[in-house]
Chain A
Amino acid sequence: MKKTPERIELLAAEYVLGSLKGQARRRFERWMMESARVREEVWYWEEKLGHLGSQAEDRPPPVSVWRGIEARLWPAKAANDSAGRWLWPGWSLVATAAALVMAVVLVQQPQPQLGERLSGAIVQADLADPLWLVSGSDAARGLKLRPVAATAAQTGKDYELWIVPQDGNPVSLGVIPEGNTYQVTLDDETRALLDRSRTLAISLEPVGGSPTGAPTGPILHVAKLYEL
């Protein structure tokens, strides 16, 4: 279908109104991605018809709505603040377990010939618990990412793990599965990159990971690893 000005004008209006449906709606969304002119027309209607929205009656939503937003954006804080008290012991157990593991590693495994161990945590400034704990060993040629306070990405999105090299483009280490420990085996080349930069990043991507091979969504976290 050709993008004539009349058609853009009409379809944009119907898109914003909501009466453009199904296949036609998806096709029009592609037009929006392709053309600034189409986007501007959509914004025009969003602005005009938006005034209808601001006429709606004020109806304060129940408190649970705000709690839900907090729980989705800042999971640990919400668990602290609200009824999720039973979650706490669970998390402290994880933390204790992590501390024990570290202690065991430090006491039993200091032999350097086993190879360097890289370790680190992906943290968020406002959270007490790390989102993920990272560990890697030369011997196993692997990198492990264990979720602690991490939650699922928003609907329709996935978290993708990257090595950020000292120079050059990030190298994907794949999509992080929800809830489980994620383990990747590094080949010599990626291992060398990580050894040099010691930097990982996590970005928000469409489900299944970046379609382009480079991060397309926002970089949510960057973490520096250290030697244990």
Chain B
Amino acid sequence: MAIETSQDELLALLLAVARKDRQAFQRLYEQISGRMFGLCLKLAKQQDLAEEAVQDAFVQIWHHASEYHNDRGAPLSWMMTIARYRTLDLMRSRKARATDGDGPLDRVEDHREGPLDRSLRSAGEQALTGCIEELSDVQRDSILLSYYRGMTHDELAVALSSPVGTVKSWVRRGLMALKRCLER
């Protein structure tokens, strides 16, 4: 599996997929399904859910490749976003079914290593080119936990042992600070 596929190559594949080129579609799958599955798995922590999300995402990519355009970011981000939304949807619909009788506490995973393990933090640092370091610890942790773990405000409140209102404002202020930094 190619780790460094250039965005140009992905763009060319995506354009071919928009023309319903099945070979290009398979090649695109070979190029990015590993990273996509990694992300879905990180988010869902459930193999079967992550598999379903990747499947759904690729079916969507096949049908909607022609809707991709430059303003939507790099091709890889666009495709990863599709997979991420799908994973979040599946997580939510399963939670909605499993919620009866469960308090929010039962639905939060075990945090033996603390809410945010080191790998997540370093991933965030690399991706957002230093801007993530400008956030306060709680802002950064709540954003990365939302992104990588799909946590709701309620779950964040439990994981970070803080009131929901406080957690909400960490997320919001963190996002806005991030934007100011990225725009500099």
| Contact flags B49-88 to A (C-beta < 8 A → 1, else 0) | 0110011101100110000000111101110110111001
- A21-B34 contact given A14-B171, A48-B182, A65-B51, CB 8 Å threshold: no
Chain A residues closer than 8 Å to B146, beta-carbon distance: 17-19
Give 7 pairs: A residue, B residue, CB < 8 Å, sorted on A. A50-B73, A51-B128, A58-B34, A58-B38, A65-B33, A65-B51, A69-B29
Confirm or deny: A109 has a beta carbon within 8 angstroms of a beta carbon on chain B. no
Chain A residues closer than 8 Å to B54, beta-carbon distance: 61, 65
Q: Residue on B with the closest CB to A52?
A: B127
A9 to B182, CA, bound (A): 14
A157 to B92, CA, bound (A): 20
User: Which of A39-47, A80-88, A112-120 lines the interface with chain B?
Assistant: A39-47
Q: Residue on A with the closest CB to B26?
A: A66
- A54-B76 contact given A59-B37, A59-B38, A64-B51, CB 8 Å threshold: yes
A56 to B172, CA, bound (A): 24
The CB with the most chain B CB atoms within 10 A, among A21, A52, A57, A72, is that of A52
Q: Residue on A with the closest CB to B142?
A: A19
A40 to B84, CA, bound (A): 19
Interface residues of chain A: helix, strand, loop or mixed (majority) = helix
Confirm or deny: A13 has a beta carbon within 8 angstroms of a beta carbon on chain B. yes
| Contact flags B103-146 to A (C-beta < 8 A → 1, else 0) | 00000000000000001000110111000000000000001101
Count residues of A near B (Cβ-Cβ below 8 Å). 41
A:3-24 near B, CB below 8 Å: 9-10, 13-14, 16-19, 21
Distance from B43 Cβ to chain A, minimum over Cβ atoms (Å): 9
Q: Residue on A with the closest CB to B51?
A: A65
Partner of B152, one of A21, A65, A68: A21
Distance from A104 Cβ to chain B, minimum over Cβ atoms (Å): 37
Q: Is the Cβ of A53 less than 8 Å from the Cβ of B152?
A: no
Q: Residue on B with the closest CB to A155?
A: B56
- A56-B35 contact given A19-B152, A73-B59, CB 8 Å threshold: yes
A204 to B26, CA, bound (A): 23
Distance from A123 Cβ to chain B, minimum over Cβ atoms (Å): 15
Q: Is the Cβ of A60 less than 8 Å from the Cβ of B37?
A: yes
| Contact flags B34-49 to A (C-beta < 8 A → 1, else 0) | 1111110110000000
Partner of A14, one of B71, B83, B172: B172
Q: Is the Cβ of A10 less than 8 Å from the Cβ of B175?
A: yes
Chain A residues closer than 8 Å to B78, beta-carbon distance: 46, 50
